[in-house]
């Protein structure tokens, strides 16, 4: 593979010379600004060999580089070695340092080529603000990637009752109320989870997320849903038409925008559409820029949805009991075959597949032993995966998509003997996770402001970690969703306010490169806490049900209230999961939930 990267780079440079452009940028993006990309838009990986989910590739005639943040540096150094592509380290995934580099590198009159169909509008505006001349009508990948994959063609399907409790017509009516409030006659939606939520539809076009490629244009009476041919079967098309939703060809969204009547007012989210989509809107149309109303609506789970998530957590927790029981028995067997990180991930997937309602993983499992656990987004390769043997810590970050909800959990378990240093780090992470778990906060507080609560026990020890503490989680939708984000890199804007019904991850960590990584993650639900003269307050209900390995704890570092929280949590885990497991899995559950 690495030998072919140089050939691909030269092909790209030749195409740049043909079109007289001086640089080309390939973002990790598709026409919907998705996190996980269909194969057709994985051009950055095809050109560089870097497989991380965040990164920007830039090439000139004498340079090629990938800009990515600290979560991926170790991975990128390995994957880029020998390719001729440089790793360009940035401070966070939200950084736009590559724009600074372009502004300093490109001389007056030089031109950057970037496919406007996948260039985020907000990024395009930053490039324009720096005076960078762009060609956005070129998709150079189409010229050089001769076996480029086509569009996915799997059919979409309904997310039906009892899981989807709010009918499609009701969701559209609520959206139109919000459009009317903002003075919009039309609304364009390109983000796939917003569309899947709005129409109670799901698909399989993107790995790990049950969504399908589409755009939607909503007016005051009817909706156009732009999808590929054959993705909506006739019966489903009829049901959509009954709600005044009409299926149109995927590629005709730009023409529909160009045909909007003079004097109409289009609502769009500048963070969630591409430059190319925005360019299709004619000047005669008024534009309102605001967050998609569906982004807020889908983040606030109904009590009906929350109940299904609770039931899903029992299924997921039971799968984890079966898996960890098997793992401990296997590791304790001196006659066993070598056990690799990749094989561990496959066994965990099989355990989930046996549970009711399971559809797919919600992201690629991270199974990292010792030093690999310090690579935040590590992926064990199918071939040549590290063997788990000797002493140390195994980090497992995994999740499932179920028809009744989406899960995401990280646990760390000991292998062989562990050290007091392991236990100290583990306990500090646990203290941070517990501190956020018990937090009470005003309704509407900006979610990034909660980040310091989880970091405080680590900061007190002179330790920090290089990722956010929490991300929103969908309901049988994307495992990463907004608008809330518990992260220091997220601006505390008004749209990040914490509201009842939101599900968020709680996942502080410690990473010692070359040694070990520790992350403990539960999902939590915003629920009412109290009303006072100072307003309405919320708290977190912990949703995730799986023991936290007490063998890794230094109890001397825990306060009495922290010990009590852990014992109460384990008592709940035991009570909720006991009806779903038996035999060795039940025995493991009983043992790992004993009070400390």
Q: Which of 144, 169, 202 is the last residue of a domain?
A: 144
User: In this structure, are residues 126 and 103 in contact, taking their beta carbons and an 8 Å threshold?
Assistant: no
Give every CB contact of residue 74 below 8 A, 6+ residues apart in sequence: 374, 375, 513
pLDDT tens across 168-193, in order?
A: 999 999 999 999 999 999 999 999 99
Q: Classify residue 152: in a domain, yes or no.
A: no
Which DSSP category does 260 fall into? P
Give every CB contact of residue 57 below 8 A, 6+ residues apart in sequence: 25, 26, 27, 43, 44, 47, 48, 50, 64, 65, 66, 85
Q: Which of 278, 297, 316 is the last residue of a domain?
A: 297
Q: Which of 297, 326, 351 is the last residue of a domain?
A: 297
pLDDT score of 74: 81
Tell me: do 124 and 162 sit in the same domain. Answer: no
Low-confidence ranges of the chain (pLDDT < 50): none
Q: Classify residue 555: in a domain, yes or no.
A: yes
**279: CATH:** 3.40.350.10
Q: Classify residue 420: in a domain, yes or no.
A: yes
Q: Classify residue 213: in a domain, yes or no.
A: yes
Tell me: do 21 and 121 sit in the same domain. Answer: yes
Neighbours of 269 (CB within 10 A): 24
Tell me: do 513 and 545 sit in the same domain. Answer: yes
Tell me: do 259 and 390 sit in the same domain. Answer: no
Q: Classify residue 149: in a domain, yes or no.
A: no
For residue 124, what are the domain limits?
Answer: 2-144
Tell me: do 508 and 583 sit in the same domain. Answer: yes
Tell me: do 218 and 115 sit in the same domain. Answer: no
Q: Classify residue 111: in a domain, yes or no.
A: yes
**521: CATH:** 3.90.230.10
pLDDT score of 241: 97
Tell me: do 104 and 122 sit in the same domain. Answer: yes
Q: Classify residue 223: in a domain, yes or no.
A: yes
Tell me: do 312 and 233 sit in the same domain. Answer: no
Query: How far is it, in rounded angstroms, from Cα 550 to Cα 544?
Result: 17
Tell me: do 172 and 32 sit in the same domain. Answer: no
Tell me: do 258 and 305 sit in the same domain. Answer: no
pLDDT tens across 334-357, in order?
A: 888 899 999 999 999 999 999 999
Structural domains counted in the chain = 3
Query: Quick check: bond before 162 cis, omega within 30?
Result: yes
pLDDT score of 3: 62
The token duo for 337 is 């075959």
pLDDT score of 336: 86
Q: Classify residue 248: in a domain, yes or no.
A: yes
Tell me: do 107 and 202 sit in the same domain. Answer: no
pLDDT score of 402: 98
User: In this structure, are residues 317 and 580 in contact, taking their beta carbons and an 8 Å threshold?
Assistant: yes
Tell me: do 416 and 281 sit in the same domain. Answer: no
pLDDT score of 383: 87
């Amino acid at each position: 593979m690495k030998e072919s990267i140089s050939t691909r780079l030269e092909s790209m440079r030749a195409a740049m010379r043909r079109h007289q452009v001086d640089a080309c940028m390939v973002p990790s993006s598709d026409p919907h600004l998705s996190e996980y990309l269909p194969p057709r838009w994985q051009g950055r990986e095809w050109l560089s060999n870097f497989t991380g989910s965040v990164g920007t590739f830039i090439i000139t005639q004498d340079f090629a580089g990938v800009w990515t943040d600290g979560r991926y540096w170790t991975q990128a150094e390995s994957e880029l070695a020998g390719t001729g592509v440089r790793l360009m380290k940035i401070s966070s995934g939200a950084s736009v340092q590559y724009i600074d580099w372009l502004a300093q590198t490109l001389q007056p009159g030089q031109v950057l080529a970037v496919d406007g169909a996948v260039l985020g509008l907000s990024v395009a505006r930053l490039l324009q603000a720096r005076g960078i001349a762009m060609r956005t009508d070129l998709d150079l990948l189409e010229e050089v990637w001769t076996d480029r994959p086509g569009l996915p063609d799997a059919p979409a399907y309904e997310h039906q009752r009892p899981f989807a409790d709010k009918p499609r017509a009701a969701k559209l009516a609520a959206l139109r109320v919000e459009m009317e409030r903002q003075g919009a006659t039309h609304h364009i939606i390109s983000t796939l989870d917003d569309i899947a939520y709005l129409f109670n539809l799901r698909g399989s076009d993107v790995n790990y997320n049950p969504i399908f490629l589409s755009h939607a244009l909503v007016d005051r009476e009817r909706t156009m849903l732009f999808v590929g041919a054959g993705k909506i079967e006739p019966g489903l098309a009829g049901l959509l038409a009954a709600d005044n939703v009409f299926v149109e060809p995927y590629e005709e969204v730009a023409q529909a925008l160009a045909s909007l009547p003079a004097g109409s007012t289009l609502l769009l989210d500048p963070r969630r559409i591409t430059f190319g989509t925005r360019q299709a809107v004619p000047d005669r149309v008024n534009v309102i820029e605001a967050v998609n109303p569906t982004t807020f609506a889908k983040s606030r789970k109904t009590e009906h949805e929350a109940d299904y998530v609770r039931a899903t957590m029992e299924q997921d927790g039971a799968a984890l009991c079966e898996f960890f029981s098997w793992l401990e028995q296997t590791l304790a067997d001196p006659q066993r075959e070598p056990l690799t990180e990749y094989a561990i991930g496959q066994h965990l997937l099989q355990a989930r597949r046996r549970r009711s309602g399971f559809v797919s993983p919600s992201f690629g499992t991270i199974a990292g032993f010792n030093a690999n656990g310090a690579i935040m987004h590590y992926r064990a390769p199918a071939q040549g995966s590290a063997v788990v043997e000797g002493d140390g810590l195994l980090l497992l970050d995994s999740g499932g998509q179920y028809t009744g909800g989406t899960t995401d959990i990280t646990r760390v378990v000991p292998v062989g003997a562990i050290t007091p240093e392991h236990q100290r780090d583990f306990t500090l992470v646990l203290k941070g996770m517990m501190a956020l778990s018990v937090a009470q906060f005003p309704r509407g507080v900006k979610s990034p402001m909660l980040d310091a609560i989880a970091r405080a026990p680590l900061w007190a020890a002179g330790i920090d970690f290089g990722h956010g503490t929490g991300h929103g989680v969908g309901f049988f939708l994307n495992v990463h969703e907004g608008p809330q984000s518990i992260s220091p890199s997220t601006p505390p804007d008004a749209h990040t306010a914490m509201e009842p019904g939101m599900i968020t991850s709680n996942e502080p960590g410690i990473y010692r490169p070359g040694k070990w990584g520790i992350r403990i993650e539960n999902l939590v639900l915003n629920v009412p806490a109290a009303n006072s003269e100072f307003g309405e307050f919320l708290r977190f209900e912990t949703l995730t049900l799986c023991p936290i390995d007490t063998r890794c704890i230094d109890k001397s570092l825990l306060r009495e209230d922290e010990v009590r929280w852990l014992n109460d949590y384990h008592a709940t885990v035991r009570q909720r999961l006991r009806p779903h497991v038996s035999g060795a899995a039940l025995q493991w559950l009983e043992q790992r939930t004993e009070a400390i």
